[in-house]
Amino acid sequence: MKQYLATVKMMCAAVLLVTVVLAGCSTSSSLDVAGQPQAKSVTILAVNDMHAALDNFPRLASMVDELRETYPDLLLVSAGDNQTGNPANDQYPEKGMPMIELMNALEFDLSAVGNHEFDSGLAGFEHITHKANFEFLAANIEPPSDTDFRIKPYTIIETNNGLRVAFLSLLDINANGVPDTHPDNVKGFKFNDPLQTVQQYLFLKDKNDVLVMVNHLGFEEDVKLANQLPANTVDLIIGGHSHTKVESEQIHNGIMITQAERRLKYASLIQLTVNPDGAVDQQQQLLTVAKDGETRADIQAVVDGYNTNPALTETIALAEDDFSSYEEIGYLVTDAIRTEAKTDIALINAGGVRIANLAKGPVRTRDVYEIDPFGNEMVLFNLTGHELRDLFLFAYAFDGNKPIYPSGITARYTLNSDQNLKDIEFFTMNGKPLAMDKTYSVIMNNYMASVYKYDHKDPGQGLFRPTAEAAIDYLKALKKIPSYRGVQRVEM
């Protein structure tokens, strides 16, 4: 706490030298003693991709309290994906409400809509927008006409020192024209191209002192956006989605872009100072949240309450070795659902595995829900080897050049010089080439079944059984989980 407060004071002093007066450090008057206009500032603490990291909220709450002593008008914002990643939140009777209640307690001012906000389903997300004491922003989405989602394209906050700060938000849309969530979660929504949508809102800079974008696009897309914007329109982009750790000022086309990795490991402390001529000075400092330090006792008590669900703490198996990669855990999950579904092959998309480490020793129910938090159900297909090949070719590009985790087969990817997928070969588990004309029973989750566009005759059959529950049953029967250290089923 003392270390980051010292950093805050250094930031404050540095800005004072440049701007004479910084509202968070001194008076908020707009005139100096000679009656001349002074610079004015706004201070923002930004997080992104919290993914229901409830356990870091007591620490974050203490940091926010300390910062508000220095910056009474501190604005607290999230760049989206507040949800999904912690069973205490995801399996709560009102799915997602623990995160909303904690964000309310810390008095967040606003949040971007991230793709995982939709994971609660249409009714669940609509309910959450009404329970939140802060505003949800997304300019390039249009909710169904028969719903009452409390989502705005932008909002304007006027600080006590008289600055008008406009916040605008954009959400990333995948190749299928929707965010990265199950398509059923966004039925009736219309999603517009974010890079085109922004042009409709550049007028906000003309009517306000500062224009801040709080996007859920990913760092590279934010850079692309910044470089196509007219000069002196957007002053700051607070980003999310790509889990990028931005440690120092990233200035692109005069726009500062920030992002603070994920799961409340960090937060970005940002100061924007508007000079008398309208020019905006930008400063950023990355603060560490997820470490030992002072916590807020009342928030800790709330979090402890969320964590006491006995259904999540039951030990279901013992791991004989550490798991140290997404791939190792992915192979365990595909082995589980292939066994439970009694199929030839099982597949899980890379994004379907959410943790990269699982410690040797007891494995609990909550560990499985952390690996697979989405509630996706198993879908059975009968596919030829050629249809499998088409599926893998589509999935590689759609999933951002990430391979599928298989069970029952291994795969050899051949890439072009530009790292695009040229071809793929399959082999049986004993190393023989897969018979491509033969038909195989294949199990996958219903997200993959819904979003992968490839040629296949069988429409698939839903088994009405979540992949996570199948994995839990498998581990209970297995009791001892063998080592997956060094297992490789994908060659690239």
How many beta carbons lie within 10 A of that of residue 1, not counting itself? 11
CA–CA separation, 238 and 80 (whole Å):
10
CA–CA separation, 67 and 5 (whole Å):
8
Residue in this structure with the two tokens 């949508």, named with its chain if needed: 197
Mean pLDDT, residues 38-58: 97
Residue in this structure with the two tokens 């120092």, named with its chain if needed: 248
Name the token pair of 206: 């003309």
CATH 3.60.21.10: which residues of the chain?
2-306
- Check residue 327 and report its DSSP letter: H
Q: What angle do CA 434, 437, 443 make, to 5 degrees?
A: 65
Mean pLDDT, residues 69-84: 97
Cβ partners under 8 Å of residue 430, min gap 6: none
Name the token pair of 363: 């494995």
Q: pTM for the full model?
A: 0.85
Return the closest-CA partner of residue 217 out of 197, 200, 201: 197
Return the closest-CA partner of residue 103 out of 128, 86, 122, 84: 128
Find how far residue 111's CA is from the centre of its chain: 12
Can you name the CATH fold of 310-491?
A: 5'-nucleotidase;  domain 2 (3.90.780)
Cβ partners under 8 Å of residue 355, min gap 6: 326, 329, 370, 371
- Give percent of the chain with pLDDT exceeding 90: 89
Q: What is the pLDDT of residues 197-218, one digit of tens each?
A: 999 999 999 999 999 999 999 9
pLDDT band at residue 25 using 50, 70 and 90 as cut-offs:
very low
Amino acid 337: pLDDT: 98
Would you tell me the crossing angle of helices 97-105 and 121-131 to the nearest 10 degrees?
20
Question: What's the number of CA atoms in the CB half-sphere (13 Å) around residue 34?
Answer: 3
Q: What is the pLDDT of residues 81-135, one digit of tens each?
A: 999 999 999 999 999 999 999 999 999 999 999 999 999 999 999 999 999 999 9
- What top-level class would CATH report for the domain 2-306? alpha beta
Choice between 39 and 13, residue whose per-residue pLDDT is larger: 39
CA–CA separation, 109 and 38 (whole Å):
26
Amino acid 392: pLDDT: 97
CA–CA separation, 109 and 122 (whole Å):
23
Strand stretches in 217-263, DSSP E:
236-238, 251-252, 255-258
Q: What is the pLDDT of residues 217-265, one digit of tens each?
A: 999 999 999 999 999 999 999 999 999 999 999 999 999 999 999 999 9
Burial class (CB in 10 A: 0-12, 13-18, 19+), 355: middle
Is pLDDT at 375 greater than 80 in this prediction?
yes
Return the closest-CA partner of residue 315 out of 484, 480, 86, 87: 480
Q: What is the pLDDT of residues 150-181, one digit of tens each?
A: 999 999 999 999 999 999 999 999 999 999 99
2 phi and psi angles, rounded to 5 deg: -65, -35
Residue 136 corresponds to which amino acid?
A: F
Is pLDDT at 19 greater than 50 in this prediction?
no
- Give percent of the chain with pLDDT exceeding 70: 93
Burial class (CB in 10 A: 0-12, 13-18, 19+), 288: middle
Is pLDDT at 476 greater than 80 in this prediction?
yes
Letter string b/e over residues 356-391, b meaning 16 or more CB atoms within 10 A of that residue's CB? eebeeeebbbbbbbbbbbbbbbbbbbbbbbebbbbb
